[in-house]
């Protein structure tokens, strides 16, 4: 089934998440009506190749034009979608920026797949239970709103009864003076007044009882929101930051907060209305009634305050633009973005909330600031929460924040007890709401961030972010965790590692792959992994992170489609290939190259005895010149004077061309072909002699993905951040653009 069609079958909350992906970036209508054409294009490749981006744009334009012509021929122009508008929109916004559209759609399609994966992973017993729980909560809140309307009607009836009684009491004496014959009816009138007073008293008590009942029910719902639903969303938001495919949509939570806040505000208005009636129409029970109203209003204000002061959340945690998949890592002087939202989205609160961010280690742990680095924002940045989404959410995006180090006045106090990548801080957001005579002090915090000074610290910083978020919750904000870091169970760590691969290329780790990693990481019977084992010195994480980078930049399609076995040891490789037909091979990650490399191993049984050979691993630099499918399909081995490709079947028994043919055609290396008859045509290829692997590039070859002439790495990053250039916009030109493995083939 097409991806978009699968998304249309999801529940409301997940569909809302999909809708959010396109807000302010790309019209959802175009995604819907041109879905088949959009999903048939390779947006990942187009996002880094302008010529491919142009081709994809032309394909969309052509498809929309064809659909428009179909409507014209069928004379059903008014019944169908406006394909002409779609065509004009694409031309207006992306004709001069096709790469921008390709990057948007590449990212959105990836996020769509994550949402689908999340939906699939939650199918079964948990998801129906959660849906049932949410539906029950919806029903309870709907019932609350209906009850408030009924009490409002009763209050109006009460006001009419008071007006009637007041009219009789004030006009009766004058009527008697005008007509003395009415004096004999005095007893009847007094009896009627007593009767009306009793009815009013009963209705007052009934209304108060109903309001107390409503508040008790609201209190339980509020407790569910603040003690269950909000913490559960915060935990999902937290896990999503470290790669977990989970739903972080705020629509349901915002709807609940908004409705409960509205109920409480209406209850307070009704109480004030009742008090006004009591003051206007004096009765014998005025003092006791006023005391009851005051007590109920006090309880109402308590509920309103508790709800409103917890309604501010960090919707999207701090992230740098060139490090989007890894939030909560901030670099000094580099711009980052964070989004906050106020969940009680009532018209009463619009333009009243001005949020100010502040940077601190943690005000709740004042003693921990000793020895920790101190930072501050490079500019003051306060924002008024505004309606900035189709759903009308009260939110603000702080899109141009950056940090500078704050110099300490006292000598030595800025020397941290922790390493740079283990030193945790938070960003606090504060605002004050003045409404209906009350003042509410509202604040929230981000998850802990790590502030780095060099891009080389990113892998270690991400290890800290992952470790903390798996062990802690936003309630237990332990920023001193790494003074004595507790171990992580293999069950949790294996899940965490699988999420990293899932977020990079839509495929997690299977049991066999995790088994190999467990051998590297777990060395105790309790299946615990200690922080030092995972992150220090020649850590396993640095090796795994380098492989993630390798997959993201060069192997995403092959990994996603399951053609790379990846984490398999040399010993297991031999066991798997022994007994397989000659030429059977598998693709695995190198264990010896810490910066990330990939190799393939094959079985050779041509001499009667099976031997398993492995080619020298291919690094990022080599894969930037030759794609792995190209290497595998054109690899040649010269042995005993004969040259052949020893790779025939991908493990277990799939013909090589059946797997790699399409990738090879899509990734032919080299510069654009020029028709020059005087030259012999050439291709890039790779060979080995007597199972000797191809030469590696010089040891001094840089790991940089792109190079801007005359700028060092730090200057280049500052320029890219200032101009909004992301990592995917960069172009890689090794050796000044000259492919080192270029060979002439006639």
Domain ranges of the chain: 3-121, 140-178+185-308, 322-486, 490-537, 551-743
- On whether the CB atoms of residues 612 and 602 are closer than 8 A, the answer is yes
Query: Which CATH number among 2.60.40.630, 2.40.50.100, 3.30.70.890, 3.90.1200.10 corresponds to the domain 322-486?
Result: 2.60.40.630
Whether the model clears a pTM of 0.85, i.e. scores above it, the answer is no
CATH topology (fold) of 551-743: SHC Adaptor Protein (3.30.505)
Tokens at 66, concatenated: 């064809």
Rounded Cα gap, residues 143 and 279, in angstroms: 31
- On whether the CB atoms of residues 451 and 403 are closer than 8 A, the answer is yes
| Region 140-178+185-308: CATH code | 1.20.1050.20
Write the pLDDT tens digit of every residue in 682-734. Answer: 455 666 666 544 433 333 333 333 344 455 556 566 656 655 554 444 333 33
- On whether the CB atoms of residues 504 and 552 are closer than 8 A, the answer is yes
Q: Cis before residue 69, ω within 30 degrees of 0?
A: no
Rounded Cα gap, residues 247 and 118, in angstroms: 7
505 Cα distance to chain centroid: 16
Length of the chain: 746
281 Cα distance to chain centroid: 57
Write the pLDDT tens digit of every residue in 3-57. Answer: 887 887 776 667 777 887 887 788 888 888 888 889 888 888 888 788 889 999 9
- What is the structure's pLDDT at 119? 65
Torsions phi, psi for 31 (to 5 deg): -60, -35
SS3 state at 691 = coil
SS3 state at 424 = strand
pLDDT beneath 70, residues of the chain? 1, 11-13, 74-80, 118-129, 169-170, 172-186, 189-190, 282-286, 361-372, 387-392, 408-417, 537-538, 640, 664-746
User: End-to-end CA distance of the chain, in Å?
Assistant: 45
Rounded Cα gap, residues 613 and 600, in angstroms: 8
- What is the structure's pLDDT at 714? 61
Are 322-486 and 551-743 in the same CATH fold? no
H-helix or E-strand spanning residue 666: helix 656-666
Rounded Cα gap, residues 95 and 57, in angstroms: 8
Closest C-alpha to 219, from 288, 291, 296: 296
CATH topology (fold) of 3-121: Transcription Factor, Stat-4 (1.10.532)
DSSP 446: P
């Amino acid at each position: 089934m097409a991806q978009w069609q699968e998304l249309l079958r999801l529940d409301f909350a997940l569909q809302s998440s999909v809708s959010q992906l396109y807000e302010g970036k790309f019209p959802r209508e175009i995604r819907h009506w041109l879905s088949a054409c959009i999903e048939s294009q390779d947006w990942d490749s187009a996002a880094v190749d302008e010529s491919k981006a142009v081709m994809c744009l032309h394909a969309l334009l052509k498809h929309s034009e064809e659909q428009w012509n179909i409507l014209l021929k069928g004379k059903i122009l008014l019944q169908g979608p406006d394909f002409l508008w779609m065509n004009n929109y694409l031309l207006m916004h992306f004709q001069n920026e096709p790469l921008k559209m390709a990057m948007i759609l590449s990212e959105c399609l990836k996020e769509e797949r994550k949402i689908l994966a999340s939906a699939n992973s939650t199918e079964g017993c948990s998801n129906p239970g959660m849906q049932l729980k949410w539906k029950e909560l919806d029903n309870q809140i709907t019932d609350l709103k209906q009850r408030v309307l009924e009490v409002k009607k009763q209050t109006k009836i009460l006001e009419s009864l008071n007006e009637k009684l007041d009219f009789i009491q004030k006009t009766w004496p004058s009527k008697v003076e005008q007509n003395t014959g009415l004096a004999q009816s005095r007893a009847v009138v007094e009896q009627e007044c007593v009767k009306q007073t009793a009815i009013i008293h009963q209705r007052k008590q009934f209304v108060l009882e109903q309001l107390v009942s409503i508040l008790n029910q609201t209190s339980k719902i509020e407790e569910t929101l603040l003690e269950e639903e909000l913490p559960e969303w915060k935990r999902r938001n937290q896990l999503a930051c470290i790669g977990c495919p989970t739903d972080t949509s705020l629509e349901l939570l915002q709807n609940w907060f908004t409705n409960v806040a509205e109920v409480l505000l209406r209850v307070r208005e009704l109480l004030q209305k009742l008090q006004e009636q009591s003051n206007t129409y004096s009765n014998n029970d005025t003092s006791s009634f006023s005391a009851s109203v005051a007590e109920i209003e006090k309880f109402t204000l308590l509920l309103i305050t508790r709800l409103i002061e917890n309604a501010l959340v960090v919707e999207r945690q701090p992230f740098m633009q060139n490090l989007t998949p890894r939030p909560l890592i901030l670099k000094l002087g580099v711009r980052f973005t964070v989004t906050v939202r106020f969940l009680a989205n009532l018209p009463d609160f619009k333009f009243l909330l001005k949020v100010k961010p502040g940077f601190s280690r943690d005000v709740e742990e004042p003693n921990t600031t000793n020895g920790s680095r101190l930072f501050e924002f490079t500019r003051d940045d306060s924002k008024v929460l505004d309606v900035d989404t189709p759903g009308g959410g009260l939110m603000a995006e702080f899109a141009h924040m950056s940090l500078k180090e704050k110099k300490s006045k006292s000598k030595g106090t800025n020397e941290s007890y922790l390493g740079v990548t283990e030193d945790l801080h938070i960003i606090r957001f504060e605002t004050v709401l003045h409404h209906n005579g009350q003042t509410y002090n509202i604040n929230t915090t981000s998850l802990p961030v790590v502030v780095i000074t060099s891009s080389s610290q990113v892998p270690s910083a991400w290890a800290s972010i992952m470790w903390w978020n798996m062990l802690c919750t936003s309630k237990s904000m332990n920023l001193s965790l790494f003074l004595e870091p507790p171990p992580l169970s293999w069950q949790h760590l294996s899940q965490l590692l699988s999420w990293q691969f899932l977020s990079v290329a839509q495929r997690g780790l299977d049991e066999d792959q995790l088994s190999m990693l467990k051998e590297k990481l777990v060395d105790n019977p309790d299946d615990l992994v200690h922080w030092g084992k995972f992150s220090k010195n020649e850590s396993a994480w640095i090796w795994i992170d380098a492989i993630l980078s390798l997959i993201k930049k060069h192997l995403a399609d092959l990994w996603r489609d399951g053609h790379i076995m990846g984490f398999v040891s040399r010993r297991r490789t031999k066991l798997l290939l022994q007994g397989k037909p000659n030429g059977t091979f598998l693709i695995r990650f190198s264990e010896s190259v810490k910066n990330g490399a990939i190799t393939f191993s094959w079985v050779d049984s041509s001499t009667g005895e099976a031997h398993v050979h492995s080619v020298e691993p291919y690094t990022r630099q080599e894969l930037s010149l030759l794609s792995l499918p190209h290497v595998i399909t054109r690899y040649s081995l010269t042995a005993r004077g004969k040259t052949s490709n020893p790779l025939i079947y991908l493990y277990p028994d799939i013909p090589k061309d059946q797997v790699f043919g399409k990738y090879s055609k899509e990734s032919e290396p080299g510069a654009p072909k020029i028709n020059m008859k005087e030259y012999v045509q050439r291709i890039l290829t790779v060979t080995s002699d007597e199972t000797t692997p191809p030469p590696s590039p010089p040891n001094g070859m840089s790991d940089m993905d792109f190079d801007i002439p005359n700028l060092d790495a730090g200057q280049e990053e500052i320029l890219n951040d200032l101009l909004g250039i992301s990592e995917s916009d960069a172009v890689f030109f090794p050796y000044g653009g000259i492919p080192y493995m270029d060979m002439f083939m006639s």
